[in-house]
Amino acid sequence: MSAVTGTISEDAPTLEDDGKTVQARPAPRDEAARLGFRLTLPAQVLVLFISAFPLLMQLYISVTDLSPLSGLGWWNAWSLWNSFANYTDLAADARFWSALKRTAIVMIVCVPAEFLLGLALATLFADDFPGKRIFYSILLMPMMVVPAVAGYMFFMLFQSGGPVNDILSSLTGSPVTIAWLSDPTLALIAVMVADIWQWTPLMFLILLAGLVGVPEDQIKAATLLGANPWQRFVTIVLPKMKTIIIIALAIRVIENFKIFDTLYIMTGGGPGVATETISVYIYKLTTQDLIWGYVAAIALAILIVLSIVAVFAMKRMARARQVPA
């Protein structure tokens, strides 16, 4: 082994080894970058304005008692300034907190369920089997369904005289008449079932893309080294999919937090407030209670929470990207 001394760095010198640096004039690349910045400045200002304006408007409204009943335009809302009463009210609003808790429960159940189901399906579809293409198309269909239509579908399915109870009846042999959507607990379960049904395909799709991107040679190498399928999955496949898993989870956490349309059509947030999530609560405050200042405060609070989630996810992604597969 004594001949194994030449390393590639000796044989392939790089420019970085050169040690020569420039002092006098800036490199043309920097000039080009500066010109580029100047040229795109108007567009950047416009984008900034478009995204920042609604935010600033919300912030402004959230410290007022603005309501359609006040008869004032939003720009005049300063006369309705209520210091930070909306925020202190929010802190004490039990209905808000229980809606938040309910939203969190839905997320904690749905996202992991969608993830595990999606991963299982993706693993299945990474190999070939007869009829794969047809199953694939069928599997993706729920994602294409308009959420309102999905809500209607599940509304019908979970009627006390609906197909779900029919199936349960024929399974148990005695007539089942569960009032799914009228029972507080069962209604929440029904809503979650609908969400899982609709969004598992998306999870499946993203994870499948990640799964086929895992280098086949590395899986073969692991097999040759004696790893069983489960060991290969845990030591090679999952680590290689880390980035895509984080992306998939982040997308679904953020989307699931905003759960509204399917749910509203199925239960309207009821019975009572049993399935009232943050979005449903905001909807009711805006259209029924008409307290816009308060809604703005809630909207901002939620935005902050979601931003924290997004920033965390992006940081993880950036770190994961430093290690290319």
Give the binding range for other proteins (CB under 8 A) out of 1-9, 51-59, 60-68, 181-189. 1-9
Residue 8 lies near other proteins (rule: CB under 8 A): yes
Q: Distances in Å between the alpha carbon of 92 and those of 85, 88, 188, 255, 303?
A: 11, 7, 25, 26, 19
Minimum distance, C-beta of residue 124 to other proteins, in the bound complex (Å): 21
Please state the separation of Cα 134 from the chain's center in Å.
28
Which CB sits closer to other proteins, 163 or 213?
213
Tokens 């049993």: give the residue: 274
Burial status of residue 16 (CB atoms within 10 A of its CB: 0-12, 13-18, 19 or more): exposed
Residues 11-50 within binding reach of other proteins (CB under 8 A):
11-18, 20-22, 27-30
User: 95 vs 220, which CB is nearer to other proteins?
Assistant: 220
User: Could you tell me the two tokens for 42?
Assistant: 């108007």
Stretch of 49-57, 63-71, 132-140, 227-235 contacting other proteins, by CB under 8 A? 227-235
Nearest-angstrom CA–CA distance, 314 and 321: 10
- Report the number of secondary-structure helices (H) and strands (E) in the chain: 15, 0
Asked if residue 68 binds other proteins (CB under 8 A), the reply is no
Q: CB 131 → other proteins: shortest distance, Å?
A: 20
Residue 158's CB: how many other CB atoms inside 10 A?
25
Q: Which is nearer to other proteins, 21 or 288 (CB)?
A: 21
Q: CB-hemisphere CA count at 13 Å for 290?
A: 6
Look-up of token digits 């990640």 = 210
Return the residue of 167, 169, 215, 258 that touches other proteins, per CB under 8 A.
Answer: 215
The phi and psi torsions of 82 (rounded to 5 degrees) equal: -125, 35
CB of 116 to other proteins, least distance (A): 22
Q: How far is the CB of 48 from other proteins (least distance, A)?
A: 29
| The one among 162, 223, 270, 306 contacting other proteins by CB under 8 A | 223
Gap between the Cα atoms of 64 and 292, Å rounded: 9
**Three-class SS of residue 64?**
strand
Would you say 232 or 284 has its CB closer to other proteins? 232
In angstroms, give the least distance from the CB of 37 to other proteins.
17
Residues near other proteins, by CB under 8 A: 1, 3-4, 6-9, 11-18, 20-22, 27-30, 215, 217-218, 220-228, 231, 235-236, 239-240, 242, 323-325
